[in-house]
Structure 1
Amino acid sequence: MLWKNRNAFAFEGRVFDADTTVAKCVEDSRRWVEVLEASKKDEEGRSRICNVGKVWKAPQRERVKCNIGISWTKDSGLVGAGWILRNSEGEVLFHSRRAFNGAASLLEAQRLGLLWAAESMISHRVKNVTFEIEASELVGVSV
């Protein structure tokens, strides 16, 4: 509000009463705090909703499970990927994360993440791996 009033004075020659300006600043800040609090409540609600029913399920005793997470930004094509490998007891054996650049779609980002995780399992000489990724388009893909 102060900046707007300053610009209006400098460029338009408009004069504002100090008391009115201060009152408007206080009102704007109160509204801003309300919006932030409402946003936090919405985010907390979404987090609770997203996590409902998502329980890690152990692989069969002779297998290990590699969970893969992908984040993709459409504007830049930047991909963040991570994987975690656990045994049937839920103990973490390995994990890793990395970034990719230039993915044209979420599907491409998911494919890159899955291939990278599979290559990582080969590098670590891990066999009998079950891969889990949120990408229904990739179900049944041979890697």
Structure 2
Amino acid sequence: MDQPSLDALSQRIWKLNTGSKIHHFLWKCVNNALPAAANMKHIHITKDGRCMRCSMENETINHILFECPYARLVWALSPVHAPVDGIMSDSLYSNLWRVMSLQDRYPKEEAHADLVPWLLWRIWKNRNDFLFQGKDYAAQDAVNKALEDMKEWLERSEEEKKEGVGWVSRDYTGRMLWAGARRFQGVGSPIETEAIALQWAIQSMIRFGYKHVQFETDSLVLAKMINGKEETWPKLKPIIQEITHSLSTNRSYRVEYFSRDGNKTADRIAKEAFSFMNHVPKLYSVMPSWLIHVIEADMPSLGSNYDVGPNNVG
């Protein structure tokens, strides 16, 4: 098989019908950024680059996902089409391209394309459980769990096509200043929706003329990407760039992670957006009656900061 274009492979990964954590995992695979033993040996974190399951001398990402006897057995037991000659390639990119192009290769058959990313994720997860916890799951159990995870995610994603976002701004005493709620449809993953809510909150505070604002999000990954502590996912780059630009032009604005348990107010506002009959955003300068008891319950967990807490519900 010819070596596929890495750009084409990356684009296909982000178009897969799967969860954001799987997109990120596969993106790390393509960029050789997973802690396979060979990678850890290469950067001198460990001296042993072997596969602990089969003792292969060089445990690469391709070995873990496709060439290890355990991985080969998982693929063989799955309903996914095997390679024409029955042999996995020694190229990770060729193997990934093949399993991600099954629907193109078998347009008139059930290619089980949606299952592929979940099988890859489960093989990786089971490798880690075996290595760090001594748990050895049977290959058939891995296939069954991948099928279960896929079905659960597909069902949940259908329910999440209609999403609500909400944010609230409060002064240092916890008193509500403003709140916003909006209903969206077909936005994408929860982290994308969270980023949209945060962007809207930042833009609103700028328009209202607030100079010192701490923005709190319950997505630790999103907070790290915005603050440059984690590489930005390609799918989120446009909106992250807009957020960071707004922050750079408003130096007293900052974004921090804050547990959802300490910001139930924004969560309640996002849920209220489900009742909206259209997608027109709503802003509140007077506290609505349905929010009073939640604001009061949140007050003990607030610090002495001006804050805006965005949230999303899907």
TM-score (norm 2): 0.21
Structure exhibiting the larger radius of gyration computed from Cα positions:
1
Question: Which structure has more strand as a fraction of its residues?
Answer: 1
Question: Which structure has more helix as a fraction of its residues?
Answer: 2
